[in-house]
A and B are shown apart, each in its own frame.
Chain A
Amino acid sequence: MNEHSNKWIGQRTIRPDGADKVTGRAAFGADTTMPGMIWGKVLRSPHAHARIRSIDTSKAESLPGVKAVVTARDIVNFTTDKPFILGIQDMRWMCRNVMAREKVLFHGHPVAAVAAATEEIAAEACKMISVEYEVLPWVIEIEDAIKPDAPILHEFNKLDGKPSNITGKLEHKLGDIAAGFAQAEVIVERSFKTRPVHQGYIEPHACLVSVASDDKTTIWSSSQGQFMVRAMTALLTGLTQSDIRAIPAEIGGGFGGKTIVYLEPLATMLSKKSGRPVKMVMSREEVMRASGPTSGSSSTVKIGATKDGRIVAAHGIYYLQAGALPGSPIRGAAGCSFAPYDIPNVLSQGFDVVSNRSKVVAYRAPGAPIGAYAVECVMDELAVALKMDPLELRLKNAAKQGTKAAHGPVYPRIGFVETLEAARAHPHYKAPLGKHHGRGVASGFWFNAGGESSAQVNITEDGNVVVMTGHPDIGGSRAAIANIAAELIGIDYKSVSVLIGDTATIGYSNMTGGSRVLFASAMVVTQSAEKVITILRARAAKIWNIDPDAVTWEDGAARPAGDNAGKFAPLTLAEIAAKATETGGPIGAGVQLNTTGAEGGFATHICDVEVDVDLGIVRVLRYTAFQDVGKAVHPSYVEGQMQGGVAQGIGWALNEEYIYNRNGQVDNAGFLDYRMPVCSDLPMLDAVMIEIPNPKHPQGVRGVGEVPLVPVMAAIANAIHDALGIRFYSLPMSPPKVLEALDLPRAAE
């Protein structure tokens, strides 16, 4: 496509779903009701770890108004000896996560669910279920979980023949690190800890499910993938996928946290048993106790360089909490952490550790921020040791086209160097700093993703365009799709309506996640639009009675390709649409693909902080994020992804953490004590988009959603060091921790 001819791609158009969202009309997960609807509630474990001896639901069932009760007996059991993989999840763990089976594994783990005429009756009935527990010793933190005498969560999981809480390992290797470190003249090795943090979407999980007597099932729910909801619910309830119609509600934030089901299978079984539509909505407390945060971690990173600043070897060891069931994002930590650099000798190892916490689930570039926090802090120390500017050190070692990454690929054209150069040239990097102010930089990488997508592009009888895709729109993807369709077909973007289909109305589409949605949906929409244009040309050819090859499509109209084709006035989309019936029938085309060619995303951030040395409060004063965004199809929503990722990182760096009490329970299960950044905590967040088009995509799109979170924690840690001369090796760098660190050197004086 000719870059300069773009009329809609790159424009800040108004999103197709915008009017509904600013007027309160948009229907999110909890906004749908049905005649005859009843309410479901979950009974949750009061213990962090216990064997379930028995469950007696008889009293609850006899309470007037109660219509159904379900326990693990109503959920399909995937036995622990046979893996059953669905996407990145294993149904052995999913079936045990939605409902405790042999044991409860964390405080808040579902044990039973009740549907009743009102929410109050359902809650009352939950209290009447009697569960006999054998309370077991429990373990929360990684270092305790990997001790030889630690309480074991899953006796069937063995490491070196012995039961263990280490449930997975992953290793990326390049060259020979022993030989590499032998060449090194400067080596920095440090250990780091991070706490689990929640995605923090403002909309709690919610669904409404109606199962008819013939098993025909409709699910309205808020998720990052209606097809995931259908597949998981089918597997966990025994229904067939063709019986389930999963309708995506508008989603009130996900950030990875809505890539698995919690309530849908329970509501489905409650509806099946009661014969009534069942609505379930989590409270914020339930979200915090029982839905997935991302992992806490314990990492050690060692990097060696020659005196001229060339990195010769790097070793990373990342232990990540999986929560109660296996599956932490070790791939993101081990795979992304060294990915920005061209290092000849790399060993990057990830370990998956279970403990009695809620099961982790994806959170924006899962695992990558954890790895980058450690690596980018060590890079900062290395720069100091080498007396080099931190951006120069990164530039000297930056990955570029042809670099072989430890996690596998040889990079095609990438834009990492450009992010570093843009940062170095930006006025922010040279701006003066005041007292107790500091500046830090850090970089980051995310894989990005392709995968399955489907689209249908239809021309309406009055000559407008309806585009349907299968990915929930979490942050403006419909607007970008409208821009692309308008560009290709050559019409005003307002003539394009973009809809998200349900599992019955659009072909299979993988989840909104991995920074894949615009990459993948632009591909299927482009191919569908091209097919539609071919049809439109053929229809014009038929009307003119000439060869279709003699017709071109330009600016929304069919035109004779040249004088030889004959002299005809252009036929607009509306004119061709009006004659669709007599020229061959309805005009539309669909494409379904497993998309490939999603190339990685790179970012470099500059952060200025001010430390209040009396209160220990760190305030971000200025923040500039530089990112290779491929092609910004809708720049406002690309900037929005960058700004949102940075804000989440600021929360992760400075405030957010799960606090467990001595009974293995989360003590801060609400927004008051789990402190996410509010408006007055933040400055404006400057997003600098650098467009190095992805050569493998028709519009040059790279994923943009996830990499903005990756560098943030290290950028802030490095800025605090610049301000105070103190390094923090654990997150969050919250006021008590900062004050404690400030007191240490004073005490020594």
Chain B
Amino acid sequence: MAKLHVTTTINGDPVEFLCEPHHTMLDVLRGSLGLTGSKEGCGSGDCGACSVTLDGRLVCSCLMLAAEAEGHQIRTIEGMAEGEMLHPLQQKFLEMAALQCGICTPGMLVAAKALLEHNQEPTETEVRYWLAGNLCRCTGYDKIVRAVLETAAEMRGAAR
């Protein structure tokens, strides 16, 4: 089977890769591109550990074919910090212990960042429903929700 040639942008960088037609975006990120920050917890779009954004929209990279990245903008957990400056969500997750084992954390952070880009003032309920596609088995979500709400408040404060 001939491989497909894909030209795309990942975390702002131009990227080219070859993939099989059946390869998912997650396969390619974790495989030939070596971006293993996105995790495979289920492969069926149920756990959100592979969350990335496609042109700013939150998607499960396990449900997206790699070939669909052609001409689009992908952002992964590896592109969330700017240099050594953590994103406020990353910093807040650390300060508030919003992670235990850390396997869901990359997807959770990518999803939370997408939320705050859509909604700068989410309610607790909005945070809970937005993150309902990201399973965490360790934390009971309490500290995650608090960290997202507090980051949102701080970012609003900083923007004023």
Contacts and interface: CB of A to CB of B under 8 A. Distances in A.
A685 B142 contact: yes
Contacts of B103: 28, 201-203, 250, 252-253
B78 to A, nearest CB: 5
Contact of A671 (B46, B94, B139, B141): B46
A647 B46 CA distance: 18
Contact of B80 (A23, A203, A253): A23
A374 B39 CA distance: 38
Q: Which of A25, A199, A253, A672: most chain B Cβ within 10 A? A: A253
B141 A640 contact: no
A202 B132 contact: no
A202 to B, nearest CB: 4
Nearest to B129: A680
Contact of B38 (A24, A200, A641): A24
Contacts of B38: 24
Interface stretch (B66-74, B104-112, B151-159): B104-112
Nearest to B133: A678
A26 interface: yes
Nearest to A32: B36
7 contacts: A22-B99, A24-B37, A253-B138, A284-B46, A670-B42, A671-B42, A671-B135
A1 interface: no
A648 interface: yes
B74 to A, nearest CB: 14
Nearest to A28: B103
Given A252-B41, A636-B143, A684-B145, 15 more contacts: A22-B93, A23-B78, A25-B37, A30-B30, A202-B49, A202-B136, A252-B102, A670-B46, A671-B46, A676-B135, A677-B140, A679-B128, A679-B132, A679-B134, A679-B136
Interface size class of A (residues with CB under 8 A): 35 or more
Given A14-B94, A31-B36, A253 B101 contact: yes
B8 interface: no
A91 B68 CA distance: 48
A27 interface: yes
A251 interface: yes
B61 to A, nearest CB: 13
Contacts of B131: 678-680
A271 interface: no
A114 to B, nearest CB: 20
Q: Which of B81, B97, B99, B133: most chain A Cβ within 10 A? A: B97
A227 B83 CA distance: 37
A283 interface: yes
B96 interface: yes
Given A22-B90, A644-B139, A27 B46 contact: no
B43 A284 contact: yes
Nearest to A201: B137
A22 B105 CA distance: 6
A639 B142 CA distance: 10
Contacts of B140: 640, 643-647, 677, 682, 685
Interface of A: 12, 14-15, 17-19, 21-28, 30-31, 199-204, 250-255, 281, 283-284, 474-476, 634, 636-637, 639-641, 643-648, 670-672, 676-682, 684-685
A202 B132 CA distance: 15
Contacts of B146: 684
A284 B41 contact: yes
A680 B132 contact: yes
B97 A15 contact: yes
B53 interface: no
B145 A679 contact: yes
Contacts of A253: 100-101, 103, 137-138
A47 B152 CA distance: 52
B138 A204 contact: no
A672 B97 contact: no
B102 to A, nearest CB: 4
Contacts of B136: 202, 679
Nearest to B104: A202
Contacts of B101: 201-203, 250-254, 474-475
Given A22-B86, A24-B78, A672-B46, A476 B137 contact: no
A680 B141 CA distance: 9
B114 to A, nearest CB: 14
B10 interface: no
A255 B140 CA distance: 14
Q: Which of B38, B42, B134: most chain A Cβ within 10 A? A: B42
Contact of B100 (A19, A284, A640, A646): A640
Nearest to B107: A202
Contact of A22 (B42, B47, B109): B109
Interface in B43-90: 43-44, 46-47, 49, 76-78, 80-81, 86, 90
Contacts of B139: 640, 643-644, 647
Nearest to A678: B132
B136 to A, nearest CB: 7
Contacts of B99: 18, 21-22
